[in-house]
Amino acid sequence: MSAAETVTSTPLAGQGRHLPASGPRRGIATVCLSGTLEDKLSAAAAAGFDGVEIFENDLIASPLSPGQVRERCADLGLSIDLYQPFRDFEAVGPELLAANLRRAAHKFDVMEQLGADTVLVCSSVAPAAVDDDDLAAEQLHTLASLAAERGLRIAYEALAWGRFVNTYDHSWEIVRRADHPALGLCLDSFHVLSRGSDPAGIRNLPGPKLFFLQLADAPRLEMDVLQWSRHHRLFPGQGAFDLPAFVGHVLAAGYDGPLSLEVFNDVFRQADPERAAVDAMRSLLALQERLEASGPVALRERVRVPDLPPAPDLAGHAFTELAVDDVSGPRVARALAALGFTHTGQHRSKPVQLWQQDGARVLLNASPPSGVSPGGAAVCALAVESADPARSARRAETLLAPVLPRTRGADEAILSAVAAPDGTSVFFCRTGEGDATSWLSDFAPTDATRGAGAGLTRTDHVALTQPFDHFDEAALFYRAVLGLEPETITEFAAPFGLIRSRAVADPAHSVRIALSVALLRRGEWAPGVPDPQHVAFATDDAFASARAMRALGAPLLRIPDNYYDDLDARLAPPAELLTAMRRYSVLYDRDEHGEFLHFYTEVLGSRVFFEVVQRVGGYAGYGAANAPVRMAAHRRLRIARAGRGKRTDAKPSPKSEGR
Amino acid sequence: MSAAETVTSTPLAGQGRHLPASGPRRGIATVCLSGTLEDKLSAAAAAGFDGVEIFENDLIASPLSPGQVRERCADLGLSIDLYQPFRDFEAVGPELLAANLRRAAHKFDVMEQLGADTVLVCSSVAPAAVDDDDLAAEQLHTLASLAAERGLRIAYEALAWGRFVNTYDHSWEIVRRADHPALGLCLDSFHVLSRGSDPAGIRNLPGPKLFFLQLADAPRLEMDVLQWSRHHRLFPGQGAFDLPAFVGHVLAAGYDGPLSLEVFNDVFRQADPERAAVDAMRSLLALQERLEASGPVALRERVRVPDLPPAPDLAGHAFTELAVDDVSGPRVARALAALGFTHTGQHRSKPVQLWQQDGARVLLNASPPSGVSPGGAAVCALAVESADPARSARRAETLLAPVLPRTRGADEAILSAVAAPDGTSVFFCRTGEGDATSWLSDFAPTDATRGAGAGLTRTDHVALTQPFDHFDEAALFYRAVLGLEPETITEFAAPFGLIRSRAVADPAHSVRIALSVALLRRGEWAPGVPDPQHVAFATDDAFASARAMRALGAPLLRIPDNYYDDLDARLAPPAELLTAMRRYSVLYDRDEHGEFLHFYTEVLGSRVFFEVVQRVGGYAGYGAANAPVRMAAHRRLRIARAGRGKRTDAKPSPKSEGR
């Protein structure tokens, strides 16, 4: 096995079309995705959605007539479940009512041509509207009557910032008073949950009056709710809302329409729509699984995703694989040796080295093309110990993870792998020394005798800098595919811009993957590729490890004295400890559970470095507070190296940047 | 003259060092700038700042000892005006007080080594603090006594989100009660103005107690004030605060310390610090000018910037220059001819064509290197009619605009130009037919007889997509250098992500420059370079112009029928007008002042297109609501062209993006 040759991953398009058809129908609003209407419909179909909500602005900018959109959707196997939004209709004076009814008639024409039978009418924000529920009900009754004449229906939604109607129970009160069969409710999880409303009351609403359900997750943010809604919604499982509970209430009420996503998100708005649509579909599949796990028996059957086996238990990182070349390979190998690793194995058919120290394992893969810049190195794969690798792979495939093709020699172990959103290969395996089915059997032992090592026991975590467009997708990917739980999001000001990081881990913390992304983007003025990845190894004694590694000549990163002076001022650690930390450039953090001692190597091959961590007590973090200090130290080394060799921090001229 | 050869602009570094030394001292907090402390200090010095505030985190991550930082600053000619911040000190129990005093003693050590005599203590946000002004005053008195023993002093600042102390008058009340000569106030414009406090009361504070002044502008945002402060501050003149009035109050009270910028901004945090420091310095020079214009006579003398002449009146766009090559040049020329322009002049020494139609002028510059991708075209210069071009140039230079070198043939007119933040050359000129000093005299008339044209009268505006890092810098640049006023910021969801746009214009609206930027960034999945620039020409009759241009074969952009159906639904225009708009693909907008009829050409040479606009009444906008429709139409053409020729919308593989 090896990962580097597998990176030409399977195409995503069309993959989702084989989704099982049972269970609730799944939909997506075109506003979730980037591009033109044509781009969006193709992407939704390719990801396996059953239907779409047509967002009006997408239609307006399209050269396809509504009839042609209908045909396009039919060709793609998509139903048009909703046309939206129709704004600022109700509770107005007679003149404005007439204008609004004329406007509605035009839109009903469009809907007839589209073949869409339901329109979303959201509660008014117009200054001209009045606070009169009876008037609102009466006018919505009029609208519903006109809709019914054409076989259409009205789904009334309370915007969280609606002028007078901004809660679901208020919107229901108006629909109840209007009492027209063509008038019902649209429930949007964001509008309900962002206001802190208790969604349990939804169970008591009459199911046939629930015309439509829009789903969005969101992080908890202290900001204006309209801005929060329009810029920061997320797909289910990416934010902080309890959507299984919410959807459980809606289904309990008797709703039997589609689960449809309506997610306004600044990042998704600019990301590849095919990939975003797959991310969206994965979020619904994972939501159904959580709903199945938490809901009553009757509900379980309705939401079950066939072919989705539960996530097998994980028991740690099996290995991390680095792509290297002729220049970086020896350099990384020297560094591993100086960290106490031994080159214990050589792949039987490929230029892949196995380096081991107790339970910590690293593969160095020099297969061309390495996929890294000349002299560079990169994490190309991570492997987890699964209780059932085959089941892990089946689960990943059902959750739309691109399955990677493998080239396998005779007598080599079968290893299944999928591609994570950033292109990293994720392997599912079992590691057993002397076990012929273990991936270890692919490696012939070398003559090297294992040395005393430097106290490293296992891989603590793998830290991967994510492409800008795929941070939230990645967290959901690992959560869903591997059954990991996302931890708290951290944001901090790094020397070259803000960084957001979020780790995912299994309940036992045997597998930890720390994802990070530069918010906005990373400053292009800074030299080099400023987003290295790293592998962190666990030790039970950071100082003993540091001492041993220093004796072996490891390229450890020097931390400035100022850091320790500030640590002294802030925390007043015992003098002896402070002296030791300063001497060995060990950094320190603590949380309510315990303490964290950690140190770093220099960046090796432009993209990769190593970290050694000692967790004391139940410390749960990753030392994010110290990351800016590490980044500044890495930058100084780059500049110093550039000064000695060729200059790598040439800035783009204003011209080349501006044009 | 011509601009394309001048784009290797003068370096920015060191330029500001020649700033006049009179007037208030100018400072900047290191937290405003990206990079390591060493990067920041160099950038501040290069931009001509007198002093810096050392932000603690920058020092902690630096390998320079405080003494070495002091030496570095001395070498760079920078004073260290403030050390900051010291948090959560006051109004606590005796045990925590002891710990806080120990912490302070450590920081006083650092300050002594730095040679910084003032530390910022910001009002507490600690859960352990109590609401007791007397206790806060007593403990601050103790702290000030310890500081005074070392010749240091304490500047106490009310954070806008301070737990108990969050207004400047409250912080003053505590300082007054503490009554210690080494304890005074730090006033921060953001903390005062973000809460809507009336800053006029500052005039009544005793000047000697105003130890420090921090300046930041900000846009008006509806969000949590802490997040607003930490992510969205701007340099003076880039936001919505009335900083001349604020500073006027502080100076009236007798403050005589530096004007120091403290701007936390996500974009600046990742931008080239040398450029950001120049932007910062320009903001202070422009602030001083506005202060001089608005303040009392005594104040004027104190804040005047020598060598900064007032902005001359502007009288329109003289010309817009496009860089073209052998492929794009003929294509753009054909398009101009079809828009009714005539090729009236040929530059006497360079491959530059002059195209004219009434007062609208375009130069096509085919000088190699064109600075554009093969077959592409780009706006490389804009020229404004100045009442005093030489004075405009002097003003620009004083405001740190990079002055562009010129190569001038014998008998050619002198034209001064500076580089805008996006690299566009900005020329100051006077256009007089038959005037030997006019730039027009550099062009030999062609034989072409001017045709009837197509009704274009002048250049209405030039629309320039800005590099991500330089949007706010650009708005301030045009505001300060040309004396234009920034208009309202508009944000809209475009097919490939959010767009923010802001125009700058002179009071008479004879010169309008529309700046736009993709928030976050523009989706890399989309084909081509998705951020074209354009030049908009004015007509008095959009339909007559469109008819004439269509007859001439102009490559006008087709707008979808759906757009007109929606326009009908929304605004119910007269049927005849709607028919004409639909027929000629004319778009429509209106505001409280008037109406806007406009249409576009296709994109020519990958980066440039033209627009024709008719302003009816006092319509002040740019039809931003229609921009997404235009962008979608342009994208369709790109895809159609790519389908006919080589495919240009190949997506990066997950691999190449992830690694």
Task: Judge contact between A54 and A111, C-beta under 8 A.
Answer: no
CA distance B15 to B418: 14
Q: Give the model confidence (pLDDT) of B239-249 as tens digits.
A: 999 999 999 99
Average pLDDT (B595-605) is 94
Structure letter (DSSP) for residue B289: H
Q: What average pLDDT does range A279-298 have in this prediction?
A: 93
* Residues A552, B41: Cα–Cα separation, whole Å: 37
The amino acid occupying position A225 is: V
- State which residue of chain A sits closest to B636, comparing Cα positions: A36
Q: Answer whether 0.90 is exceeded by the pTM.
A: yes
CA distances from A120 to A163, A202, A251, B185 (A): 17, 19, 20, 55
3-state class (DSSP) for residue A79: strand
Q: Is A296 on the interface with B (CB under 8 A)?
A: no
pLDDT score for A407: 61
- Given a cut of 90, whether residue A9 has pLDDT beyond it is no
End-to-end CA distance of chain A: 45
pLDDT of A376: 85
Percent residues over pLDDT 70 in chain B: 92
Q: Is A561 on the interface with B (CB under 8 A)?
A: yes
- A546 Cβ contact partners less than 8 Å away, ≥ 6 residues apart: A556, A584, A585, A586, A599, A612
Please write the tens of the pLDDT for every residue from A609-621: 999 999 999 999 9
A173 — phi, psi (to 5°)? -60, -40
Q: Judging by beta carbons within 10 Å of its beta carbon (0-12, 13-18, 19+), is residue B131 exposed, middle or buried? A: exposed
What's the rounded mean pLDDT across residues A295-307? 86
C-alpha span between B68 and A560 (Å, rounded): 13
One DSSP character per residue, B350-397 reads SSEEEEEETBEEEEEE-PSS-SS-TT--EEEEEEEEES-HHHHHHHHH
- Are B658 and A424 in contact (CB < 8 Å)? yes
The proportion of chain A whose per-residue pLDDT surpasses 70, expressed as a percent, equals 92
**Contact check, Cβ <8 Å, B655/A371:** yes
Q: Among B572, B631, B627, which residue's Cα sits nearest to residue B598?
A: B627
- A127 contact B CB<8A: no
Task: Report A:373-412 residues touching B (Cβ under 8 A).
Answer: 378, 380, 402
The residue among B261, B276, B227 whose CA lies nearest residue B35 is B276
Residue A644's pLDDT is 58
Q: What percent of chain B shows pLDDT beyond 90?
A: 79
Nearest CA in chain B to A626: B61
Cβ–Cβ < 8 Å for A325, A344: no
Taking CA atoms, what residue in B is nearest to A379?
A: B659
Mean pLDDT of A251-262: 96
The residue among B636 and B407 whose pLDDT is bigger is: B636
Q: Give A601's contacts (C-beta < 8 A, 6+ positions apart).
A: A335, A339, A554, A555, A556, A557, A609, A610, A611
Mean pLDDT, chain B, rounded, equals 91
pLDDT score at B292: 92
Secondary structure, 3-state, B581-638: HHHHCCEEEECCCEEEEEEEECCECCCEEEEEEEEEECCCCCCHHHHHHHHHHHHHHH
Residue B506 has pLDDT above 50, yes or no: yes
Dihedral angle sign, alpha carbons of residues B408, B412, B416, B417 = negative
Extract the tokens encoding A356: 């081991």
The 3-class SS string of A476-528 reads HHHHHHHCCEECCCEEEEECCEEEEEEEEECCCCCCEEEEEEECCCCCCCCCC
pLDDT, residue A20, reads 53
**Distance between CA A530 and CA A541 in Å, rounded?**
30
Which residue type is seen at A524? Answer: E
Share of residues in chain A with pLDDT > 90 (%): 79
* Residue A222 to residue B224, Cβ atoms within 8 A: yes
Instruction: Transcribe B134-201 into DSSP letters.
Output: HHHHHHHHHHHHHHHHTT-EEEEE--TT-SS--SHHHHHHHHHHH--TTEEEEEEHHHHHTTT--GGG
Spatial CB neighbours of A50, under 8 Å, sequence gap ≥ 6 = A25, A26, A27, A77, A78, A79, A258
- Please determine, for residue A408, whether its predicted confidence score (pLDDT) is greater than 90: no
What is the SS3 assignment for B239?
Answer: coil
Q: Degrees (nearest 5) of the Cα angle A309, A315, A318?
A: 105
Distance of CA A557 to the CA centre of its chain: 31
What is the pLDDT at residue B372? 77
Q: What is the mean pLDDT of residues B371-376?
A: 80
Q: In this model, does residue A494 exceed pLDDT 50?
A: yes
**B270–A57: do the CB atoms touch at under 8 Å?**
no
Look over chain A and give the mean of its residue pLDDT values, rounded to a whole number.
Answer: 91
* Residue A17 pLDDT exceeds 60: no
- The token pair at A435 is 């076990």
What burial letters (b/e) apply to A244-281, b meaning 16+ CB within 10 Å?
bebbbbbbbbebebbbbbbbbbbbbbbbbbbbbbbbbb
Cα–Cα distance, A333 to A220 (Å, whole number): 44
Q: Supply the pLDDT for residue B508.
A: 94
Residues of chain B with C-beta less than 8 angstroms from the C-beta of A500: none
pLDDT at A410: 64
d(CA A167, CA A461): 44
Query: Of A194 and B520, which is predicted with more confidence?
Result: A194
What local confidence, expressed as pLDDT, does residue B13 receive? 37
Q: Is the pLDDT of residue A656 over 70?
A: no
For residue B635, list chain A residues with Cβ-Cβ distance below 8 A: 35-36
Chain B: nearest CA to A459, how far in angstroms? 22
Dihedral (Cα; B347, B350, B355, B356), 10-degree rounding: -40
B532 upstream amide cis, omega within 30 of 0:
no
Contact A653 B269 (CB under 8 A): no
pLDDT at position B438: 87
Highest mean pLDDT among A460-469, B292-301, B631-640: A460-469
Query: CB–CB of A657 and B498 under 8 A?
Result: no
Cis peptide before A369 (omega within 30 of 0): yes
pLDDT in tens, A550-592: 999 999 999 999 999 999 999 999 999 999 999 999 999 999 9
Would you say residue B287 has pLDDT above 60? yes
Q: What are the angstrom distances between the C-alpha of B293 and each of B287, B290, B551?
A: 10, 5, 53
* Residues of B with Cβ-Cβ distance to A99 under 8 angstroms: 572
Question: % helix / strand / coil in chain A, to the nearest 5?
Answer: 35, 25, 40
Q: What is the pLDDT of residue B435?
A: 81
> Nearest-CA residue of chain A relative to B649?
A272
Each residue's pLDDT tens digit, B238-280: 999 999 999 999 999 999 999 999 999 999 998 999 999 999 9
The enclosing H or E element of A261 equals strand A259-261
pLDDT given for residue A207 in this prediction: 96
pLDDT exceeds cutoff 50 at A653: no
How many other CB atoms sit within 10 Å of the CB of residue B163? Answer: 17
Summarize the confidence of residues A358-385 as an average pLDDT. Answer: 90
CA A579/CA A585 separation, integer angstroms: 10
The pLDDT of residue A650: 35
Model pLDDT, residue B198: 93
For residue A74, what pLDDT band results from cuts at 50, 70 and 90? Answer: very high
B637 touches chain A (CB under 8 A): no
Q: In a 3-state reduction of DSSP, which class is residue A311?
A: coil
Per-residue model confidence (pLDDT) at position A13:
37
**Among A residues 11-70, those touching chain B with beta carbons less than 8 Å apart:** 34-37, 56-57, 59-66
Query: What's the pLDDT score for residue B625?
Result: 94
Candidate from B56, B572, B607 with C-beta closest to A102: B572
Average pLDDT, stretch A336-364? 96
Q: Where is A543: in which H helix or E strand?
A: helix A542-551
Residue type at B101? L
pLDDT digits (tens, 9 = 90+) for B446-488: 998 878 899 999 999 999 999 888 999 999 999 999 999 999 8
Region B109-120: mean pLDDT is 98
pLDDT tens for residues A171-199?
999 999 999 999 999 999 999 999 998 99
Structure tokens that stand for A468 in this block: 């800008």
Q: Are the C-beta atoms of A443 and A345 separated by less than 8 Å? A: yes
- pLDDT of res. A343: 97
Interface test with A, best of B232, B270, B578, B635 (most A CBs within 10 A): B270
Q: The dihedral of CA A55, A60, A66, A69: what is its sign?
A: negative
Residue A452 binned pLDDT confidence (cut-offs 50, 70, 90) = confident
pLDDT band at B654 (very low <50, low <70, confident <90, very high): very low
Of A60, A103, A635, the CB nearest to B563: A60
Q: What is the pLDDT of residue A409?
A: 63
CB–CB contact B632 A36 (8 Å): yes
- Mean per-residue pLDDT for A253-267? 96
Residue with tokens 């195209």: B355
pLDDT digits (tens, 9 = 90+) for B163-197: 999 999 999 999 999 999 999 999 999 999 999 98
pLDDT exceeds 80 at position A365: yes
- Measured at the alpha carbon of residue B658, what is the angle toward residues B652 and B659, in degrees to the nearest 5? 105
Distance from C-alpha of A248 to C-alpha of A444, rounded to nearest angstrom: 53
d(CA A484, CA B128): 36
The DSSP secondary-structure symbol of A19 reads -
Residue B566 with chain A: CB contacts under 8 Å: 56, 60, 106
Distance in angstroms (rounded) separating the CA atoms of residues B270 and B264: 11
- Please state, as a whole number, how many other Cβ atoms lie within 10 Å of the Cβ of residue A189: 25
**In this structure, what token pair is assigned to residue B134?**
């007397």
Specify the DSSP element, H or E, that contains A119.
strand A118-122
Enumerate residues 216 to 245 of chain A having a beta carbon within 8 A of any beta carbon in chain B.
222-224, 227, 231
**Amino acid identity of B590?**
R
Query: What's the rounded mean pLDDT across residues A309-337?
Result: 96
CB A153 within 8 A of CB A183: yes
- Phi (first) and psi of residue B529, to 5 degrees: -85, 115
Closest CA to A373 of A538, A597, A240, A529: A529
**B133-157: per-residue pLDDT in tens?**
999 999 999 999 999 999 999 999 9
Are the beta carbons of A629 and B270 separated by less than 8 Å? Answer: no
Whose tokens are 């249409």? That residue is: B599
**Does A132 lie at the interface with B, CB-CB under 8 angstroms?**
no
Under DSSP, the state recorded for A312 is P
> Cα–Cα distance between A254 and A276 in angstroms, integer?
30
